[in-house]
Amino acid sequence: MRFSTITKWEFKNTLSSRKFLMIFLMQLSVLVLMIVFLNMFIGNIESENGVTLSPSLTNFASIGVSDTSGLFEKQLNHEVLGITPLGSNESVNQVKSGKATAALIVPENSIGKIDTFQPITLNLFVDYADPKRSVVTEEVNSTVKAISSSISNQWISSLVPSTSTIEPDVREEKKGESLPLQLIKKMMVSILLFLPLFLFGNMIIDSIVGEKERKTGEILIAMPLSHGEIIIGKNLAVVLVIAVQVALWILILLVAGFDLKNPILVYLVIILTSIPIVGITSVIAAYSKNYKEAGIGLSFIYIGIVGFLVIPALAYISSKSAAANISPMTLVMRLFSGDTISMTDLMIPLISILIISAISYWITIKLFERDDIMFGPRPGIVRLALELVGIKNISKMN
């Protein structure tokens, strides 16, 4: 437990730093603003006059309609189709000239034929060079089916004597949330919960790369501590800071009215997830020569980590895929949603956390033990990777 000396020293210095306190307060301010925005956005979606998540299709495709009776023209979807009443020849010419996607020609005596139980022949001219033709065809077909069904019902009603019937009371009951709303609510809350894990990369870089640039690495190594104890002590201090912020963020979310079930389990899983992320960040920091190089490497690595967390979570929302449980974010999402989680689904992300943590901390300690990494000149990434897996001398293989 000698690493606790490093942990206490790093943790105390971090909390007493004005720079850290300023960043911490700014992060809390951002969190509050994001909560306000999220509540307003979800409120608009759930309201009757809310925003839509689908792209607008207003006047998506144009069609010329020759319908003197107005029966079919009125029933077409005016929100999707840009409908222009024209004569039959003009409608066809509009299609030929490329000014319209299609033309619908309705016989002039359509109403008379309906009254005398005769079929009606509709002519639809479509420009097959226009990719929007399928939209027009579907809209026209659905309109024709709806009108045909209505006319058939009228014919049957006219032939059957009217009797007193009791209409059934049909009510539509909706359960659950739509997929877009689930994506917004669950993913946004998950992202808010995991955000602190990516806000302390600079602390790790300063803790490890700073030792190189300040030339204090020799003093640190000379302490009566092993290289592993130094790395564990420094990283544990960062994990403790993350734990404080995650606890505060969960408390703010609960006060703000978010329904987070199993908050303690959610908290524990997030803190466990921070351990491999801090370990991977330490690998980048241990290999980097300066802050700039570490920052660039960290940007690329964090993109991969975010993808590993977010993509399986999205897959689980859309398809309930079992493979999506590999992501700790999926587990957190299911925990705060109150889902029933089997032991297998629980162990999959925990095992992934354990494996990634063991590998990342082993690599960091190995790098920290090497003088060429700490003081230079350092080897290339390929050569270093081969040496780490036990291939000491590449030239002997040739």
Q: Assess whether 182 and 264 both reside in one domain.
A: yes
Do 197 and 81 belong together in one domain? no
299 touches 281 (CB < 8 A): no
One domain for residues 289 and 364: yes
Give the model confidence (pLDDT) of 244-295 as tens digits: 989 988 998 888 888 888 999 999 999 999 999 999 999 998 888 888 888 8
Co-location of 219 and 93 in the same domain: no
What range does the domain containing 82 cover?
Answer: 61-152
Which pLDDT tens digit goes with each residue over 17-45? 787 788 778 878 877 888 777 777 666 65
- Among 300, 295, 323, which Cα is nearest to 311's? 323
In a domain, 170, yes or no: no
Q: Is the pLDDT of residue 67 over 80?
A: yes
CA 331 – CA 47 distance, rounded (Å): 30
Please list, in sequence order, all residues whose beta carbon lies within 8 angstroms of the beta carbon of residue 4, skipping any fewer than 6 positions away: 233
Same-domain status, 20 and 100:
no
CA–chain centroid gap for 20, Å, is: 29
133 — pLDDT class (breaks 50, 70, 90): confident
345 & 386 share domain: yes
Sign of the CA dihedral 184, 189, 191, 192? positive
Closest CA to 197 of 141, 238, 148: 238
Please report whether residue 168 resides in a domain. no
The answer as to whether 12 is a domain residue is: yes
**Chain mean pLDDT for the chain:** 80
Model pTM?
0.64
Residue 89 token pair: 């020849």
CA of 264: how far to CAs of 190, 232, 268, 337, in Å? Answer: 15, 25, 6, 13
